[in-house]
Structures are given as C-alpha cells and as structure tokens.
Amino acid sequence: MSSRDAILQRVHGELSRYPPVAAPPTPVVWPRTSPTPAAMAEQFAKALTEVQGDIVRCPTMQDARRRLAELASEAGWTSIGAMDRPLVREAAGGLPASSLNWQMADWPPARMAQLSASVIEPEALLADTGSCVIACPTAEDRLLCYLPPACVVVARTAQLVEHLSAAWASLAPRVADPAMQGEFVIVTGPSRTADIEKILILGVHGPKRVVGLLVEG
C-alpha cells in the first residue's frame, strides 16, 4: 500500500466514526409570489423599456404579423435573418419573401453580420428583468442573437415567468440532458458598454436595438 492510500484509508476510517450531517436547506434567492400573467406582462414591458429595449404588445398573431411588417418597413430592414421556429414562421408571414433569410447550417458569420435585423423565438421571458432566454443549439442560433444590428424577439405571454428561478424547472432537464447541444443565451435589451469615458454606448457587442413582440395567449 502506498503512503497516499494509507493516508486516505485512515481519513476514511476517521470520518466513518461520525454520523452523516444533513445538508443545509436550500436558500430562497428568488421568492415565488406567483403574479398573474397580466402583471408579469406589465412588469416585463417596464423592465425591457428601462434597459432601452422596445416593446410591442399584440392581441393576436395576425396583429403581430402586421406590426412586424410595419417595423421592417419603417426601419428599412431589407435583409432579415429568421430562426426557423414556429412563432417566427407565424410572425414573419407578413414580410416580403425577398427580405427573408431563413436560418441555414454553416451560415458564414460575415454574411449574418450584413443582415439588417434578426427575428428569434425564446424559450422563456423573465418578467423581473425584461430578459429573453433563448435556446441556441447551433452557432447560427447564437449569432442571430448578436450579429444583426436589430433583433426582434417574438413570444407569447404564456412564455412569461416571474424570474429565472421560476423558469428553472423547465430549463434544468434540458440543460442536464447529455444529448443537448449548444447553450442558452439570455438577452436583456440592446448591447451596452460604458468602458469608454463612462459614457453608455449601445450596440458595441451585439444588437443596438431589441424589440419584444409580445403576443397575447
């Protein structure tokens, strides 16, 4: 027996003399207050606006299609990158086909950076911070959140949760799944930095404009 094994065996023997200690209770970092969906929608809109994001409330998906088309026309978005996800497919129905670029595998980042805007779909919306939690199994998913200068997040009010702790029950199994690829990205308003002269500048590390297109239901 080596000296290392002898030491470990002795330590193990000494520890076995003591009864197991119960784990301390899990601290409640984010208490659950279970607000109504309407209250969470108001809080999300307020929080997103406070970080210089835009919010567009839509009673129906038909209205969301119209509003997205208006946004693109007003902003002059002639080249829009779109995640191939159900809500994005519905909301993008009013956009000119010539302006839409559906997500592709091995999409060159240089080409994605030339897009006018992106349209993405989150897994959850965090009401307390106005944040969008987006599953990004591929590099193209992730870069659509960052590279275009404008980003439109299409979601339903049913995707609202109180805070990250409240979302964890649905996200944790996916994070723990060994077959899960990629990562989750949390977008909270436009990219910002104040590294230079302590002056807040938007759009340095990501989109300069983030629009939450929130559809009832």
* pLDDT tens per residue across span 100-155: 999 999 899 999 999 999 999 999 999 999 999 999 999 999 999 999 999 999 99
Domain assignment of residue 2, yes or no: no
Paired tokens of 58: 């839509």
Which pLDDT score is estimated for 115? 96
Q: Round to whole Å and give the CA distance between 188 and 215.
A: 18
Domain assignment of residue 28, yes or no: no
Domain assignment of residue 21, yes or no: no
User: Nearest-CA neighbor of 133 among 143, 141, 125?
Assistant: 125
pLDDT in tens, 40-78: 999 999 999 999 999 999 999 999 999 999 999 999 999
Domain assignment of residue 26, yes or no: no
Place of tokens 């969906």: 37
Domain assignment of residue 161, yes or no: yes
Whether the predicted pLDDT of 84 surpasses 60: yes
The range of the structural domain enclosing residue 99 comes to: 37-215
Domain assignment of residue 6, yes or no: no
Whether the predicted pLDDT of 176 surpasses 60: yes
Which pLDDT score is estimated for 17? 82
Domain assignment of residue 190, yes or no: yes
Whether the predicted pLDDT of 205 surpasses 70: no
CATH number for the domain spanning 170: value is 3.40.50.10420
- pLDDT band of residue 200 (cuts 50, 70, 90) is low
Domain assignment of residue 3, yes or no: no
The rounded mean pLDDT for the chain is 90
Structural domains counted in the chain: 1
- pLDDT band of residue 195 (cuts 50, 70, 90) is low
* Distance between first and last Cα of the chain: 67
The reply to whether the predicted model has a pTM over 0.85 is no
pLDDT in tens, 23-49: 777 677 888 888 999 999 999 999 999
- pLDDT band of residue 201 (cuts 50, 70, 90) is low
